[in-house]
Amino acid sequence: MITLLDYGAGNVLSVINAIQSQGETVKLVNSAADIENAERLVFPGVGAFGNMMEILQQKGLIKALKGYLEDDRPFLGICMGLQALFEESEEAPGVKGLGFFPGRVKRFEIDLSVPQIGWNGVNIKKPSALLNGLQGDEKFYFVHSYHVVPEASDIILTTTNYGIEFVSSVKKGNIQATQFHPEKSGDLGLRLLRNFINPKTEEVAIPDDQKGTTALSKRIIACLDVRANDQGDLVVTKGDQYDVREDGDVRNMGKPVELARRYYDEGADEVTFLNITGFRDFPLEDMPMIEVLKQTSKNVFVPLTIGGGIKDYTDKNGRYYSALEVATEYFRSGADKISIGSDAVLIAEEYLKTGQQTGQSAIEKISYVYGNQAVVISVDPRRVYVANPDAVPHQVIETQFPGPQGETFCWYQCTIKGGREGRELDAVTLAHVCEKLGAGEILLNCIDKDGTNSGFDIELINAVKNAVTIPVIASSGAGSAGHFQQVFTETDAESALAAGIFHRREVSIAEVKAHLADKVEIRY
């Protein structure tokens, strides 16, 4: 029996599913007594330090947690479950952690994108049965903006390089905790959880052939556009410049859960679901989409992102639901990140009118509770050509691809409602504003490139990437493995997403990775 501390973090169902996949049962903590009586305790979490500690205090769990740790009983902390063990965090000045380990939690001060999102390796610093079976070159999934800085070096289990060498896991006696997410690290992560559930008495020696440094992988993401077809069946579809119909019918590329599992087996680093009719329908009434998440998270152990309809909403009975409530339902159903599309444009427009952060937008509220790493902004721009850069009050670029009248300048107009409505806001400004409001990642689509198989819009990606310090996902236009190489060598995008070429088996994820193997850092 594994006892799991659920304080409201976003990835709890994923952890439960991962543990249950190893044949173990899970008991959720409902009171301090559950912690006191636990045989093995897991403390997971994606979120914000201050909110986490506030909830633990409100639930009356801190004393029991401290007692459990001091008794040196089997404990595994994950992400926030690691950070909580320390005295304080820069993320929440004045808020005390559990203080089991002397030290503090610091924000990354590096020239790379923050948060760190993706797959990175670990350098093993001391023997541990938890790491049984590791060879020293594996990669785990990370998603965080802050890292722990212990005062004592003897608790350091592993380190990882991301601009600096930081502590990625710790161990003291039976107390172990990781910054990375085993439940989202594929078969490797499941092995680590299995080691915790059924520990060996011997501690594994440090591998002799460790590289000494680690590197973040470029991510290959499979995207599934999901909607109901005319018969009412939930299907994966694919658009051509956002038109998903062919000969009058919605293109049917397969069933969402089955396709997600296929991409997991093929080596996808993440899977993204976009509920492309979410702007019309209230997600909490869209039970099939929620069920898709729940079923997928049972056997797909890489990060899952869900987008569509994450906004404030009043139902037909007058009941108001906040965007935070909608996002919470998705998180509790297996999502690791949520993607905000049309509503992000409206939020940015309102911010630009006043220049004031209210703390009340969907971006701000969700990032406060779950951390900015859980909030993705999906941008849907199209090119608008202009004769000169002063013709419009927008971020204009000089392009190598002239317009219909020979124009050599363009800007990228944001759209909403599935690309059907253009706004007087450019993609560069949108990305910059959303980062300021608390977003942690940009999913950068391109209507002009969608369905063309002509390659990513390199100019768009570079324009947005140069304007933000958060990770960027390149999307739209992939038609070959070479296009992935191009986007990773000609831009600083951390990941690239594709849909149609994977659905139609024109190029597999494995083939993309094989092509990239000796050209960029990838996860095998």
Give per-residue pLDDT as tens, 16-43: 999 999 999 999 999 999 999 999 999 9
Residues in the chain: 524
For 424-458, write each residue's pLDDT tens digit. Answer: 999 999 999 999 999 999 999 999 999 899 999 99
- In this prediction, residues 302-309 reach a mean pLDDT of 92
Give pLDDT, residue 312: 85
Indicate whether this model's pTM tops 0.85: yes
- Domains of the chain are 2-197 (3.40.50.880), 219-516 (3.20.20.70)
Give CA torsion, residues 299, 301, 302, 307, to 10 deg: 50
Instruction: Tell me the C-alpha distance between 24 and 1, whole Å.
Output: 6
For the record, the structure tokens of 512 come out as 């993309």
Give the tokens for residue 236: 């994966």
Cα–Cα distance measured from residue 49 to residue 461, given in angstroms and rounded to the nearest whole number: 32
User: Mind listing the pLDDT tens digit for each residue in 46-101?
Assistant: 888 999 999 999 999 999 999 999 999 999 999 999 999 999 999 999 999 999 99
Annotated active-site positions, please?
Answer: 79, 181, 183, 225, 380
4 Cβ neighbours under 8 A, 6+ residues apart? 12, 15, 16, 19, 26, 27, 28, 29, 41, 42, 43, 44
Residue 509 CB contacts under 8 Å (≥ 6 apart), including other chains: 220, 222, 263, 266, 267, 268, 502
CA 301/CA 242 separation, integer angstroms = 29
Structure tokens at 496: 């690239």
pLDDT at 247: 64
Q: In whole angstroms, what is the distance from residue 73 CA to residue 40 CA?
A: 7
49 CB-near residues (< 8 Å, 6+ apart)? 80, 83, 84, 89, 91, 92, 95, 97, 105, 146
pLDDT reading at 279 higher than 50: no
Q: Which of 240, 314, 251 is nearest to 284 (CA)?
A: 314
| 8-state DSSP, 155 | G
End-to-end CA distance of the chain: 33
